[in-house]
Structure 1
Amino acid sequence: MSRITKKVIFASLALMTFASQLMSAPLPLPGNSSVSTALPKPPAEHTDQVLPSWPVTYTFEQLGRASDTLLLGINSAEQVEFGLRRDRIASDASLQLEYTPSPALIPTLSHIRVYLNDVLMGVLPIEKDQLGRKTSQKMALDPRLISDFNRVRLEFIGHYTDICEDPANNTLWVNISRGSGIVLQEQALSLQNDLAFFPLPFFDPRNNGPLELPFVFAANPTLGEQKAATILASYFGSQSNWRGANFPVLFDTLPKVPNKDAIQPTVVFATNDHRPAFMSDLEKFPAVTAPVVEMIDHPDAPYSKILLVMGRNEEDLATAAKALALGGNLLRGSRVTIDKVQELQPRKPYDAPAWMRTDRPVRFAELISYPQQLQVSGLQPRPITLDVNLPPDLFVWRNQGIPLRTQYRYTAPSANDDSRLNISLNDQFITSLPLLRKDTSNLEELRLAVLSNDTANVNDKLIVPSLKIGDRNRLRFDFNFASTMGSAQRDRCQTILPANTQAIIDEDSTIDMSGYHHYISMPDLKAFARSGFPFSRMADMSESIVVVPSKTTPTQISTLLEAVASISARSGYPAFGVRLSNDWQAASKEDADLLLLGEMAPDMRDNPDLTLLLQRQRDMLVQPYGTSGIDASNRRGPSTDGRNMPANRVEVTAQAPIAAILGMQSPSHNQRSIVALLGNDDADYSLLREALGDSGKMDAVAGSVALIRSSGVYSQLVGDQYFVGNLPWYLLLWYQLSEHPVLLAVLAVISVVLSAFLLWRALSWAANRRLHKDD
């Protein structure tokens, strides 16, 4: 290298160094002659806050697969759906799959494909050591594909031979365990205080778990404050539906959170004169001049939101609660003032949104829960099911049947074989219809019979068995395609690819429950447990009064909120019209159904219908003759069974918690009922809350009294029955006489003799008149 070249390089380096120093120095500001030459210091540490996250596992059983799933050669796909709250994202996801493959499969060639939202995530080959054994495999899922609604699809590719394979061979199977699950690492999103997202973050329908939402009051909440909380709790109950809802109650304090990253939404009720202690600062929480709803951050946990329901008085709180339930689409911003909430049209009996209409034929499109519910595919497709929820007092006794107008379409079979459509109701077979090659679109007008001699269609060709129509019914359609797949002989191999058969029940199909009367034998706690009856007769509970103790504890208020929320969950509508009272004497005289919370009123303890009395001093139980328990689900008789009459009385004294649900007739109105949730202390009410939130325990509630202990629920039927509803006189007479065949026979003989006597007298009169006329 020459000297000139070296000088040029050194000069270039010097210029570059000088230029870098000029660029790193701060520029002079306009109007400021003093310029600092000190360089800025880098931050000592990274201050970004990590959002809270936690692992969540959804098993296939929790996602609706009550039993294991068997994948076959001709029914090789299954999918499970799961949701993710809108205020969370998935930072990691995986599939924990438990399966048992057939021992006849060829290893490696047989495998399972896993899809997430129609994107292939991977393949699980079936190894030799897995054949016939339960296997657990974990597969990573791409969290970037996970949204608010997701599908995981499993496809089974099985081989049992390498020559002339029959897809319908019964050795092609793999059993997917219901214990399989989807594991997510959920991460919270930092939400703004914006009511436009309401009911988020307090409730999200994409969450499959039960709702837990604390309610906070000032000490000794008034009846008006409890009513406002009951209305709002019923709204959340109607939204949570089958998930269940828990409402822990606190006085004067917010729920404690384990750390600042915890997420615990809370609802607070406060008036200007009665507010929780943490809202005593009037500068931070000024008095309001109208019903106000505001969302704020929890003071100790920035990711936890608080919903403030505020008003000048109790009426304002009820107005704000109704506005939250009715006007959610109008809310926006962190604070909303409610100007007016007005009822334009009162509710009518039996118009609960969760119940099928009984005043006109109902299209299947009104009964479906999700799109494509009525469409299936495959040689052995899944059954098409429809849930038909009815009022529990619908009187279908001795009726000629329920009209069912069914339209369906299907892929035509290759020949007129044994392909059929089976229809059943409540797992009871109704009829089977052939799927013919020439008729790929059919209309069948069936009649869901309630008598064994009823016909199944208008042509009187199909006879169906007796059916039990209840409050919860499941209508099921099974398409079964009989297809010839080919020959599996080695010397003559002829394999045919199975057709992509599809079938659909048309949305314009109808079921007609109109024209039925309402009449039910009471007390029937099964109707209360399953349908919230009689309080759900009016969807808004406008003909119901809840009687609460004059001095309530947080656990008692939680029981109140959860009891009314469970009724709204079964009716599908908030309890806007519910009334609360702590005066038993006044409430018992009202023409309303009573939900009693607490101890039985003193003037009711001598009631002959009272079969149970829980007191701190002693517990009393009246038992029927010759039975230790009942299941009232099938009780339809018009008269009282003598075995239900009281025969024994037991009195005990014990310290362990016990609670009960008691049903009886109102002492003031024979068409009204009383359901009492009995308990003495917080431990008893904890048992009640646990039972109200447990579907298995509620299914055991029946009869006139249900005892709740740590061992479970014990139900029995004691005392006289009474009837609620109305029937035409001729139908009522026939119904009452149906349980007395001897009396019915005597009346029939008397009727025949009387008719014969009248006929004889009429003929004698006619003969005498003719003789006198001839004379």
Structure 2
Amino acid sequence: MRNVPFALILVTVAAGVPGAAYGGEAPETPGAGVYTATLADEFYLTEDLMLSGVHATRDITFTRPATWTLTADPVLHVAFEHSAALIAARSHLTIVVNDHPIGTVTLGEDNVTGSTFDVRIPRSMLQDFNHLGFLVDQHYTDDCEDPFDPALWTRVRTTTAIDLAYERKPVEGELLKWPYPLVDRLGYGPTQVTLVTTGAPSKETVDALGIVGFALGRLADYREVDAAEPVASSAEARTPALLIGTTAELPEALTLTGLASLAPDEGMVALVPNPADNTLPVLVVTGGGPEGLLKAARALAGQDRYQVLSGTVSTISQVSPANPPPTKQKPLPAPPATKFTLKDLGIEGQTVRGFYASSIRIPLKLEGDALAQPGGGSLRVDYGYSAQLDSRLSSMEVRLGGLTLRTVPLDKVAGESQASVSVPLPQDILAADSNIDIVFHLFPRDFDECERVADHQISGTVYASTTVELPRDHVAEMPDLSLLRFGNWPFTALPGSGGTVVALPDAPDARAEAAAFILATRFGKLTPAPTPDFSLVRGADITLADRADKHVILLVDASAHTLYEGLVAASALTLTGGPARLLANGKEVLLAANVRTPYGTIEEAFSPANASRAVLVVRALREDGLAPLVESLTDLGKVKKLSGNVAIVGADLDVRTLSVATIQRWGTVAVATAATREIQRNWWVLGAMVIGGIFLLTAFVRVFAQARGSRE
């Protein structure tokens, strides 16, 4: 998935599947429907598939969800267009599934633009993972032709979709398969979860919610987790349901499992069918008391712990602390070390083939406060390329941020298997979210325009030993909401950065619980640390002084929130109030106004207990609660709109930002580095000083010469 900081792209759910967070429509027929999976949404393609040249192919993988039974053959709707120069007698687009052709369409003058082609995919040939291929043969003449002529092209649109008619399978309650069926790795769209809660959870329940949510976010990975409107009983849920709480808070936990009771220090994890719909699972995490509940949460969320659980119900009497499941994030953020390889980023070696070889991208996901030192960095590309290349025309190009840094000829007739080249990475175009692209321009040797030309045998490879060296300082002007786009920075939940605490209202209602749970799943997905520092708490249970070493996120609604009220009393925030709003910088009032519609706000400020730690206040004042605001923090497009220290989020999630806080610098740089940067920024001053020095030296020499001459 396109990946990113609180910032992930939410997949829109098509007809027949429960919708996105809060208020999505469930299927009209329970457990059955038609799901439409598009290349843009479910396959995460940001650009159309281009097929260029005489012969070209593009492949994608699609799945058959394990929780579904297909009730009809899927139908593929191909949206395409092609060059008007193609001749229909020799130009065709063929669809292939698992190496079997299933349909062909002629590319002629009657379907040049805005065309569609529907083809049925036999269910009998489908597996868990399926290869969908788009193959073209395209020609612009019956005579000899240039096989790489730019007039030879067909474009498959990202609106291309597969309709999957399905019905859900009855749930098999088996913890040994956890996280299935809550998370179906073969499924489409976000994993839908309904939180079953009566509100006003204990502090241990809030803690357990964070533990389970963080682990579920890691296990769901690219599928993410969305929360439907919370309900008071599992029978009301229209998606997979989750019960987290003690048996006193949620007596239904015992009813669902058939147990009479649990000891106060005994935990229980259960995976059972929903009594109201046996195609929907219910996950129960409970305990006879707070101690037992936390045991159950840690057993389910702990790596090398949950793998032991099996059957429909498991009770836990003892569990030792464990890390959550390992991150599945790829590529990984850059490690703190100055020098790292592609393997350190979770990127394996890659080979590309053919004249139209795609680029190999290396994302540099740096810390939000990362600042390249003067002189920039360097990239050592370890690469190889095949024989049979035209050594006069073939090359490898290295780009940073879309700008070409260097082009290397591929001029060995026999190819090379172990070549290296060093490329400087200029400081002024390095950013915390830079992309390095390596592009192979591959031309086959000695091709004949009158014969069939193959280019699949020509290739270029970039090895995982490719190394980036990037000395960097860590400096930021705070508060600055725009830095959230860099992996939630500074709210990263990394132990070295101070960790992150999310504070709910003093007595959270069901919607606040659901919003906090979704936030926990996002941290699980995005935080790569093996041992993260993350927790959920109630606002009344801590003070900022207690957590002075932590960054804190406050989820605030219309109910009491002791931690938030303390920030207001300390004049730590710039925008406060409801309909009667007050904008201030410290004690200085900038604006007092009454607004008819008090939209939600997101504000970043300094912790009164530690000026090197930040607080993020997510405040909802409307009936729809915190969910839309949390959603705005999980959508890359909306996060990129944030800047300054305050954002006002409208009903349709439009964002308006302002900057009224006093800015402070976090971090320091070495004296030599600071001096170099000042010289770079003020080079004209240095030039004037040099010229002035020359004049002074010249004047001194003249005076000295005159004095010496008069003595003689």
State the TM-score, normalized to the length of structure 1: 0.75
Contact 1:60 1:178 in 2 (8 A): yes
Q: Which moved more, 1:116-125 or 1:574-583?
A: 574-583
Determine which of 412, 434, 456 is the counterpart of 1:437: 412
Contact 1:545 1:595 in 2 (8 A): yes
Q: What is the match of residue 205 of structure 1?
A: 185
Amino acid at match of 2:282: I
| 2:500 is the counterpart of 1:524 | no
> Do the aligned partners of residues 168 and 271 (structure 1) sit closer, same or farther apart at CA in structure 2, a change above 3 Å counting?
same
1:221 positional shift:
0.9
| TM superposition shift of 1:476 | 1.4
CA-CA distance at 1:155 after TM superposition: 0.7
User: Quick one: which amino acid aligns to residue 616 of structure 1?
Assistant: G
In the alignment, the residues of structure 1 paired with residue 412 and residue 63 of structure 2 have an alpha-carbon distance, to the nearest angstrom, of: 41
Q: Do 2:493 and 2:523's aligned partners in 1 also have CA atoms closer than 8 Å?
A: no
Aligned residue for 1:430, secondary structure, equals strand
- Residues 636-715 of structure 1 mapped to structure 2, 5 A cutoff: 649-711=590-652, 712-715=654-657
- Alignment-derived partner of residue 22 in structure 1: none
Give the Cα separation in 2 of the matches to 1:735 and 1:430.
22
User: Structure 1 residues 646, 718: CA separation in 2 closer, same or farther (over 3 Å shift)?
Assistant: farther
* 1:523 and 1:704 in contact (8 A); partners too: yes
- Superposed CA RMSD: 3.7
Aligned with residue 230 of structure 2, among 234, 243, 250: 250
Structure 1 position 674, deviation (Å): 1.0
Change (3 A) 1:192 1:554: same
- Within 2, Cα distance between the matches of 1:507 and 1:415? 22
Q: 1:722 aligns with which of 664, 687, 694?
A: 664
Q: Could you say if the C-alpha distance between residues 612 and 241 of structure 1 is closer, same or farther in structure 2, counting changes exceeding 3 Å?
A: farther
Match of residue 113 from structure 1: 94
Equivalent pairs: percent with the same residue?
19
Which consecutive unaligned segments of at least 5 residues does structure 1 have? 1-49, 259-263, 452-465, 489-493, 624-644, 757-775
Question: For residues 513-552 of structure 1, what are the alpha-carbon distances to aligned partners after superposition, in whole Å with 9 as ceiling and x for unaligned?
Answer: 5754433222122222441222215169973333322122
Amino acid in structure 2 at the alignment position of 1:381: A
Aligned residue type for 2:36? T
Tell me if 1:214 matches 2:194: yes
**Cα deviation 1:253-287 (Å, max 9, x = unaligned):** 225256xxxxx211112324332457579965522
Q: Which residue of 2 is the match for residue 39 of structure 1?
A: none
Task: Say whether 1:167 aligns with 2:147.
Answer: yes
Structure 2 CA distance for partners of 1:322 and 1:651, relative to 1, 3 Å? same
Query: Aligned runs of 1:586-665 on 2, under 5 Å?
Result: 586-591=543-548, 592-598=550-556, 601-605=564-568, 610-613=573-576, 615-621=577-583, 649-665=590-606
Contact 2:580/2:592, CA 8 A, preserved across alignment: yes
Contact 2:58-2:134 within 8 A present in 1 as well: yes
Letter in 1 for 2:279: Y
In the alignment of these two chains, the number of paired residues is 649
Flag the 1:745–1:722 CA change in 2: closer, same or farther, 3 A.
Answer: farther
Of 587-596 and 540-549, more deviation after overlay is shown by 540-549
Structure 1 residues 202-221: Cα deviation after superposition (integer angstroms, max 9, x where no partner):
11233341222112234421
SS of the counterpart of 1:376?
Answer: strand
In 1, the alpha carbon distance for the partners of 2:194 and 2:411 equals 58
Q: Is the 8 A contact 1:530 1:698 kept in 2?
A: no
* Partner SS, residue 250 of structure 1: coil
Decide which of 463, 480, 484 is 1:507's aligned counterpart: 463
Q: 377, 385, 392: which one pairs with 1:417?
A: 392
Amino acid of the structure 1 residue aligned with 2:107: I
The residue aligned with 2:297 is 321
| Distance (whole Å) between structure 2 residues aligned to residue 519 and residue 328 of structure 1 | 40
Report if the CA contact (8 A) 1:215-1:247 is conserved: yes
- 8 Å CA contact 1:196–1:329 kept in 2: the answer is yes
- The residue that corresponds to 2:19 in the other structure is none
Aligned to 1:64: 44
Distance change in 2, residues 1:710/1:191 (3 Å): closer
Specify whether residues 227 and 589 from structure 1 end up closer, same or farther in structure 2 by C-alpha distance, changes over 3 A only.
closer
- Given that 1:352 and 1:572 are in contact with CA atoms closer than 8 Å, whether structure 2 keeps it comes out as no
Residue 658 of structure 1, CA deviation: 0.8
Report the alpha carbon displacement of residue 323 of structure 1 after superposing the two structures with TM: 2.1
The CA distance in 2 between the partners of 1:594 and 1:736, in whole Å, is 34
Specify the code of the residue in structure 2 equivalent to 1:392: G
CA contact (8 A) 2:240 2:280 kept: yes
Report if the CA contact (8 A) 1:85-1:206 is conserved: yes
Distance 1:183 1:740 in 2: 61
Q: 1-side partners of 2:50 and 2:169: how far apart?
A: 38
**Contact 1:270–1:276 (8 Å) recurs in 2:** no
Which of 154, 160, 165 does residue 134 from structure 2 map onto?
Answer: 154
Pair 1:296–1:163, CA change in 2 (3 A): same
- C-alpha distance 112-416 of structure 1, shift in aligned 2 (>3 A): same
Instruction: Report the AA paired with residue 555 of structure 2.
Output: L
C-alpha contact 2:52 2:356 (8 A) present in aligned 1 = no
Using CA pairs below 8 Å that are at least 6 residues apart, which structure has the higher relative contact order? 2
Distance 1:302 1:485, change over 3 A: same
Q: 1:81 to 1:646 in 2, by over 3 A?
A: farther
CA contact (8 A) 1:596 1:675 kept: yes
2:278 to 299, 302, 305: 302
CA contact (8 A) 1:407 1:441 kept: no
Give, in whole Å, the separation in 2 of the partners of 1:740 and 1:508: 40
Who is 1:491 aligned against? none
Distance 1:719 1:269, change over 3 A: closer
SS at match of 1:697: helix
Match of 1:468 in 2: 430
CA drift at 1:75: 5.8
> What aligned pairs does 1:498-577 form with structure 2 within 5 A after superposition?
498-513=454-469, 516-538=472-494, 543-572=499-528, 577=534
Residue type matched to 1:521 in 2?
E
How far did 1:676 drift?
0.9
Q: Could you tell me how far apart the structure 1 residues matched to 2:36 and 2:257 are? A: 44
1:578 maps onto 2:535 in alignment: yes
With 439-448 and 144-153 compared, the bigger mean Cα shift is at 439-448
Give the AA of the match of 1:71: L
Quick check: 240-249 or 410-419, which moved more? 240-249
Structure-2 separation of matches of 1:546 and 1:663: 14
What is the distance in 2 between the residues matched to 1:75 and 1:517?
49
Partner of 2:77: 96
- Kept in 1, the 8 Å contact 2:298–2:322? The answer is no
* Contact 2:170–2:280 under 8 Å retained in 1: no
Q: 1:218–1:276: 8 Å Cα contact kept in structure 2? A: no
Q: Secondary structure of the residue that 2:207 maps to in structure 1?
A: helix
| Post-superposition offset of 1:610 | 2.8
**In structure 1, how many angstroms separate the alpha carbons of the residues matched to 2:308 and 2:66?**
19
Structure 2, unpaired ranges of 5+: 1-28, 698-712
Q: Distance in 2 between matches of 1:646 and 1:120?
A: 72
When residues 744 and 173 of structure 1 are mapped into structure 2, their CA distance, relative to the original with a 3 A threshold, is closer
- Shift of the alpha carbon at 1:309? 0.5
- Offset of 1:345 from its aligned partner? 8.6
Rate the CA distance shift 1:110–1:210 in 2: closer, same or farther, 3 A: same
Q: Is the counterpart of residue 286 in structure 1 residue 286 in structure 2? A: no
- Residue 175 (structure 2) aligned to one of 192, 195, 209: 195
SS in 2 for 1:390: coil
Counterpart in 1 of 2:320? 342
Structure whose CA Rg is larger:
1
TM-score by length of 2: 0.81
1:55 maps onto 2:55 in alignment: no
- Aligned pair in 2 of structure 1 residues 75, 390: CA closer, same or farther (>3 Å)? farther
Aligned in 2, Cα 1:687/1:189: closer, same or farther, shift over 3 Å? Answer: closer
SS of residue matched to 2:544 = helix
Give me the whole-angstrom Cα distance separating, in 2, the residues matched to 1:744 and 1:672.
37
